A and B are shown apart, each in its own frame.
Chain A
Amino acid sequence: MNKWTRRSFITTGLLAGGGLMVGVALRPGNRAKGLAQHVTSEGETFVHTWVKLDANNVVTAIVPHAEMGQGVGTALTQMLADELNADWNLVKFEEAPAITPFANHPILKGMLPPGVEIPEIVVPTVDGLLMRTAQALNLQITGGSMSVRSTGVYGMRVAGAAVQEMLRLAAAEAWQVPLDQVVARNSQLIHEASSRTEPYSAFAAAASEMTPPSTPQLKTPEEFTIIGHHVERHDIPSKVDGTATFALDVRLPNMLYATVRRTPTFGGGIESLDDSKARALPGVVDVIRLPASKAEALVGNFTATESVAVVAEGYWPAKQGLDALKIVWSETANDYVSSASIFEQFDRDISAGVDREVDVAEGDFEATMANAAQVIEADYRAPYLAHTCMEPLNATAVVEDGRAEVWVGCQAPLPFRQAIADAMGFDAENVTLHNCFMGGGFGRKSRADYAIQAVQLAAKMGRPVQLIWTREEDVRQDFYRPAVQSRFRAGLDKDGNLTAWENTYVDKHEPVEAPLIPYTPLTASNIGYVSSPTHVPFGAWRSVDHSQHGFFTESFFDEVAVAAGQDPYEYRAARLADKPRQLAVLRKAAEAAGWGAPLGEGQGRGISFQECFGSIVAQVVEVTVLDGQTQVDRVVAAVDAGIAVSPDGLSAQIESGIIYGLTAALYGEITIENGAVKQSNFSDYEALRISAAPKIETHIINSGSAIGGAGEPGTPGVAPALANAIFDATGFRVRSLPINLIDLDYKVEDVVTPA
């Protein structure tokens, strides 16, 4: 447990008023060869976690992650407070401002072994990922379920332990007593023999003079009093009385409002614009054409085409103006692209197999298939998906004298600042970014396109501008979860054992291990991909590639179990036999769900297993399919995230991930027509509502392994568990999503065959 502390670096300083400031930095570790040149030169330090102890004995953690609903501030603060032996009521958190010293370096560390158990097979490819991430440093990124795993473990706990140690030393010196008699408890320093008790703050100044310990003693899990215990989230009270400030709620004097429409066909442009009607509307101030924009950072990169904005005295006149615009869009090479043509292309490219890249190739696949007693094959498809964060994209900006000030909810403050600076030709130092609460992020708010538009408008107007996207724009100008197709072949021996597994899919993104299969043994396997690019912009969507591959792999594996004539749960369990941690999670979900218990009419039960972002999740779904109507009755999830720092927070994230994944499985489809997105709003891009929400039961296993992510691991497993349950209920195998497009009431006897 102490190994990594060699790479930690702790620094202290004195605050005005006698407070203590402690920063924890990470220096390049010896694990990443060649990393140093990208991260720092020898002797440089990157302080990423700051802890402040003020004169009122209040400890403030300054957290380099954005709050998008996942409770990150609370979980990180718990880790600090526990090591510090602080009174929970005297611990606060602030989000770090978007300036370089707060850059989120541990996100890189978290990608390194052993923080993530990257399968042996793909380790060679990790270097590539690592290098790209290294180049992308100086970034604050909230994504990849990394906050608690990396910043929390490598920063918060070290900071807490170091501060506690320094305070005890300072007290021992001041009281002239042996160090081991000074106890730190509830933000107080105590020497029992002499009945002395003083608040931490009394020793802040003395502690700031000390050389911080290089290897502070961390607690063992048994010693935790706050980690793993229920605490209430600090941000919740402001979210029940309307006082939480989202970017949309920023109000500046003399502010104008704007809304925008970008070229609907991706890659297109504006042929002509007639804005006379819009300009004549009361309240409309200006109509502005905004140039295409792009960001070339390695994280959050994008290109976006031209757009037209209407600026007005309020959102409503701006929206009226937008609707009154007459825009002729230019013709593009993509005008005839449709979802159907895209999937035809995928099909062709998979069949052709040109330049197929291999993730895994073990054993002699074709020979094993030739010996198989049974062979099964299937194609699986997943559509494009939008993120539809509850809060439509928006940003507020003021531009004056070559400086920009921006209010936005975003997942990557530093890349946003850089992208804005690049778009405006400013130095990054001249861009101030205030990150607000995010009404959802899910990956969308890592691209700065909307913030750049707001800054461009504010520069043009010479007044503060709040740009608010319509929901229609939000649906049609996303960076979508990519559509994917997978082609599977599997071979079984005469006893029904899976011997050969092949998967060829289109286009690889991240994480690299998403298409892999956790089950062993296999005589031969071959997993690989072909390139089949489309013009549709894509980006990270909650759980990234796991969301499609989790559905594909866990559904097709279910087909294998059925082909073997075996119980899908037992079949999985037998093939996780050499992985006790994984097996325990699978067993927990199955037992808690009452696997095997009789079900009612039209009911079915399905199971899935998923390992991602350092956490393990198994889910059992119960479904009722009657008259073609699908009702998800119950989801039982078991999760092992190492140690649940905030158990209720982890449960909430799993519930949230399940509903997000269920919305996608049941209704989610972005359709491409004439090169553009067909859907527009919640009316045709539906979200799961309360009456369709299943009962969710989350069971947490604290295995004590490295801490895993919480925000994403709940999402991928629900679609396959549901699809497997539908098979159990109906005998129909769902191989493409969404489910509501499938006629589950189809019966062979309904088909009238002419005599």
Chain B
Amino acid sequence: MTVLTVNGVKQETSVDSSTPLLWVIREQLELTGTKFGCGIGQCGACTVRLNGTAIRSCLTPVAAADGQEIQTIEGLAPSDGALHSLQAAWIKHQVPQCGYCQSGQLMSAAALLESNPTPSDEDIDLAMEGNICRCGMYGRIKAAIKTAAKAGADNTADGTADALTIIATAKETADE
């Protein structure tokens, strides 16, 4: 029996403890936002956060997550109906094409901004290098991370106005 906290909810699973976390998330927990792309740690589609750190869930045995905190794309937004600043920036920059890689991209970006709120281009390259986008939206991903970083910085500097504006705009779009 493995016990995980996924997006704040305690979950138990009895699958073989060597099963990669990816398949537990997708099949047992039916959280299908996390994707399968290569199975060998090369593409980043399966990226989730383990105690805040971006990991490749296709290579992580579920046993390694026992007793740990997992965050998936479904848990990225701060609350129902709100968006994480990265999600809002992703909409603003119309980042997704097919969208299949984007859960992984967003989870890698979220881990980056948490440890480095004002990343340089090189920091972004380094943190996002493991996430392939076959639709080639790298320029937009980079721009969106910067927008979200700026929203975060403005947020700390002079209240929450800018960040909230972005979230509100994005939310309207989502509701359309």
Interface residues of A (CB under 8 A from B): 68-71, 89, 232-246, 248-249, 251, 257, 282-283, 314-317, 319, 388-392, 437-442, 468, 470-471, 648-649, 652-653, 655-660, 662-663, 681-683, 687-691, 693, 695-696
Contact = CB atoms under 8 A, between A and B. Distances in A.
B152 interface: no
B98 A242 contact: no
A727 B68 CA distance: 54
14 contacts: A232-B173, A235-B96, A240-B95, A240-B106, A242-B33, A243-B33, A248-B32, A248-B36, A437-B98, A439-B99, A652-B94, A660-B136, A663-B136, A693-B139
Given A391-B35, A392-B36, A683 B42 contact: yes
A251 B30 contact: yes
Nearest to A680: B40
Given A69-B99, A656-B136, A690-B124, A240 B42 contact: no
B40 A392 contact: no
Contact of A240 (B100, B102, B138): B102
Contact of A652 (B39, B130, B140): B140
A70 B103 CA distance: 18
Contacts of A659: 133, 135-138
A390 B136 contact: no
B27 A69 contact: no
Interface residues of B, number: 63
B40 A471 contact: yes
A657 B137 CA distance: 10
B39 A470 contact: yes
Nearest to B42: A682
Interface in B136-152: 136-142
B59 interface: no
A473 to B, nearest CB: 11
A692 to B, nearest CB: 9
A68 B128 CA distance: 23
B131 to A, nearest CB: 7
A283 B15 CA distance: 10
B164 interface: no
A315 B36 contact: yes
B161 interface: no
Contact of A390 (B31, B90, B100, B130): B100
B116 interface: no
Nearest to B106: A240
A471 B39 contact: yes
Contacts of A283: 16
Given A257-B27, A314-B23, A389-B134, A232 B32 contact: no
A655 B99 contact: no
Top 7 nearest A-B pairs by Cβ distance?
A: A242-B33, A659-B136, A439-B100, A69-B98, A239-B99, A69-B97, A242-B73
A468 B36 contact: yes
A179 B95 CA distance: 44
Contacts of B173: 232, 236-237
B158 interface: no
A439 B91 contact: no
Contacts of A236: 90-91, 94-96, 99, 173
A7 B27 CA distance: 51
Contacts of B83: 240-241
Nearest to A238: B99
Nearest to B132: A687
Nearest to B18: A316
A696 B139 contact: yes
A649 B87 CA distance: 19
